[in-house]
Structure 1
């Protein structure tokens, strides 16, 4: 057996699946559509999302597909607006026959896509968004979330805020639903812990000059900061704040989607010491995660990040649902996944029936300088899914 096939076998053994021979005769393909962003601030995540999609699909096809049916990956790129994402998804559904959609589904995009999923007859598997409304008033039957909702991040913040040496915070966030959710949740969390915050500052996507946002923070009376800015905007903010010495004034800086593995190499020393919550790290100690990290390193010559891991896990949910349902038709596929335990990088993981959320853990990390001068993470603690994941929202009525 070749080294590559051995790695595939190891990954699937960890997922509890057998390595099967290729089907002896061709069967109809099952199409998975992926909407990926190739322009604007979120394009920084394109490569890892694309890598994870290809790795997961190749592994499944290398073991015989879904009961002999190969998966066919179709990708539609767009510029990152909700309208463009919906247009890309509808193209995949109408022209490529994809009844399953996944990809770089940021919060505003996921809200728009989930609202169209049932009428357009596709099921959306979201590995990207954070906004809580998709687990609440905007939940939908044809929608499953793999990624970490803001409420989970906020629960992780409880441990950070409770131990924080800072008592009064600046809050700066991206001007879209996830950023607004993050800002509101963090302000409420501070209040519960007897701490305070200044009015939040919201940064429009694609802002090239961050100076007008950094200056009022530099002159504020805060001794702590929450930064919930994403993608290339996060890179610009981290680099530009160094020129003002902004982070040096704070006793603690907490990131929400800010100092991520995708942006860390370009942020450099600008994020040293930032406390960053991550839904996944390579250090999670499960056989499934070790197999995934090994296979990704072999295929692409680098470590995966949480974006790649969440996209990889989305394909695991899709594959489990297809095997259980025996079809990619929306109704049976949705029913087959509700309440199921699915093999993911976290080990056996529940797909919660009430709101279609993957019940997952969270990690607390400090950004540190590695021995070779690059930036990395020191894992402080893992918050177990049972302790960190919020209960289903009473506002969610799947329809």
Structure 2
């Protein structure tokens, strides 16, 4: 029964098995991963699949420090308090060496605080708020994905090229949405001082009244719309916006909308011409990504999603950090992760020593309809290091105690 329950929860002790023949130098290195599996399955299930694929790959190559990796996952249901409780269980009962994961930014911040208070290494895969590594950053917290600043930066750069001067914003009213809007406003205004922000909408996460939101935005007579909604909120917003003509003759810049997790459910209702960050999937033809996509499809009989890219890169980054540290002792791992370089399907990346932010890059492009489905077109990949502010700016944002 214990084995069955562990498999149901996603705790993949069995994932160590493929490498045990080659990696017999000691007990498994245990990664305790916490995520919103029931609350956000469109992203987190492909994410977990790819973590499993990466663990098997690492173990087949001999593990890390001659030891196999073991992945134990838990579901926080999108609640910060549950994530913190589960972190305590993983550390104290399961004796994990590394904490990882989280999807929502408020959950990531809660786990970062737990890591700081308990001096445990935590590697956030998906949470995007900049506070995680800047204002509320700490010595024990690293973050993989390109942040709201990084993604808003490229969207603001593209939006500045448009004739639109009157902008409105719509975002979920929690840490991620607030961070995204803050940076887009600041960065667009810096590039285009003639821009005005004439209104905003802040629906509750997962509870958007799309009709009322669209009506309110229409009444503001915008020329441009900056959107941070995702998941079912985005689907409802797009459908109501299409029905009411909100997007006609208006520019739209949108965080994450190019990710297939959010674009695919729209089908032939997907918007056209939006400037988006996202993931163009199997259109990426680099050797590293083609190998990853082929392995993922071969194992799961499904195309890789953005979550798949993140989960795969997360495990490989953790393996690289531990290998560089030469130990799973916490303080040595912190020093090992700082500046460590690792390969991802999108290209090489690292965890910057100055703020422990990953340099995984951003895909930016425009939405289009192809065969009655939404896709990203005219896309390009931008290395994360080229989207981050100067070290001087970062030092002013990050607490001195985080060193």
Q: 2:86 aligns with which of 74, 85, 88?
A: 88
Shift of 1:24: 7.2
Residue 259 and residue 343 in structure 1: after superposition, are their counterparts in 2 closer, same or farther (change >3 A)?
Answer: closer
Residues 177-211 of structure 1, C-alpha deviation per residue, up to 9 Å, x if partnerless?
Answer: 11011112222233220211223211101215322
Residue 317 and residue 219 in structure 1: after superposition, are their counterparts in 2 closer, same or farther (change >3 A)?
Answer: same
Shift of 1:25: 4.5
Give the match's secondary structure for 1:198: strand
Task: Indicate the larger mover: 60-69 or 270-279.
Answer: 270-279
Residue 270 and residue 50 in structure 1: after superposition, are their counterparts in 2 closer, same or farther (change >3 A)?
Answer: same
| Distance in 1 separating the partners of 2:308 and 2:390 | 26
Aligned residue in 1 for 2:221: 221
Aligned residue in 1 for 2:372: 373
Shift of 1:282: 4.3
Aligned residue in 1 for 2:356: 356
Give the conservation status (yes or no) of the 8 Å contact 2:168–2:225. Answer: yes
Shift of 1:222: 0.4
Aligned residue in 2 for 1:389: 388
| Distance in 1 separating the partners of 2:24 and 2:167 | 62
Q: 2:145 aligns with which of 144, 147, 157?
A: 147
| Distance in 2 separating the partners of 1:112 and 1:141 | 15
Aligned residue in 2 for 1:6: none
Task: Indicate the larger mover: 262-271 or 76-85.
Answer: 262-271
Residue pairs, 1:73-112, within 5 angstroms: 73-112=71-110
Task: Indicate the larger mover: 135-144 or 115-124.
Answer: 115-124
Residue pairs, 1:1-399, within 5 angstroms: 22-23=21-22, 25=24, 27-40=26-39, 42-192=40-190, 193=192, 194-207=194-207, 209-248=209-248, 250-268=249-267, 269-278=269-278, 281-284=281-284, 286-370=286-370, 372-392=371-391, 393-394=394-395, 395-396=397-398, 397=400, 398-399=402-403
Residues 240-285 of structure 1, C-alpha deviation per residue, up to 9 Å, x if partnerless?
Answer: 322222222x421111123421011212324332211137754455
Give the conservation status (yes or no) of the 8 Å contact 1:346–1:360. Answer: yes
Shift of 1:365: 1.2
Give the conservation status (yes or no) of the 8 Å contact 1:37–1:46. Answer: yes
| Distance in 2 separating the partners of 1:24 and 1:56 | 15
Shift of 1:309: 1.0
| Distance in 2 separating the partners of 1:130 and 1:20 | 33
TM-score (norm 1): 0.88
Give the conservation status (yes or no) of the 8 Å contact 1:44–1:232. Answer: no
| Distance in 1 separating the partners of 2:137 and 2:360 | 18
| Distance in 2 separating the partners of 1:212 and 1:59 | 48
TM-score (norm 2): 0.87
Shift of 1:26: 7.0
- Tell me how many residue pairs correspond in the alignment: 378
Residues 92-120 of structure 1, C-alpha deviation per residue, up to 9 Å, x if partnerless?
Answer: 11221112122233211111111110333
Residue 231 and residue 31 in structure 1: after superposition, are their counterparts in 2 closer, same or farther (change >3 A)?
Answer: same
Residue 346 and residue 270 in structure 1: after superposition, are their counterparts in 2 closer, same or farther (change >3 A)?
Answer: closer
| Distance in 1 separating the partners of 2:312 and 2:24 | 27
Give the conservation status (yes or no) of the 8 Å contact 1:281–1:305. Answer: yes
Residues 124-166 of structure 1, C-alpha deviation per residue, up to 9 Å, x if partnerless?
Answer: 1111111111231211111111111122112212331122232
| Distance in 2 separating the partners of 1:24 and 1:391 | 41
Aligned residue in 1 for 2:7: none
| Distance in 1 separating the partners of 2:342 and 2:24 | 28
Give the conservation status (yes or no) of the 8 Å contact 1:127–1:307. Answer: no
Give the match's secondary structure for 1:344: coil
Q: Which runs of 5+ in 2 are unaligned?
A: 1-17
Give the match's secondary structure for 2:48: helix
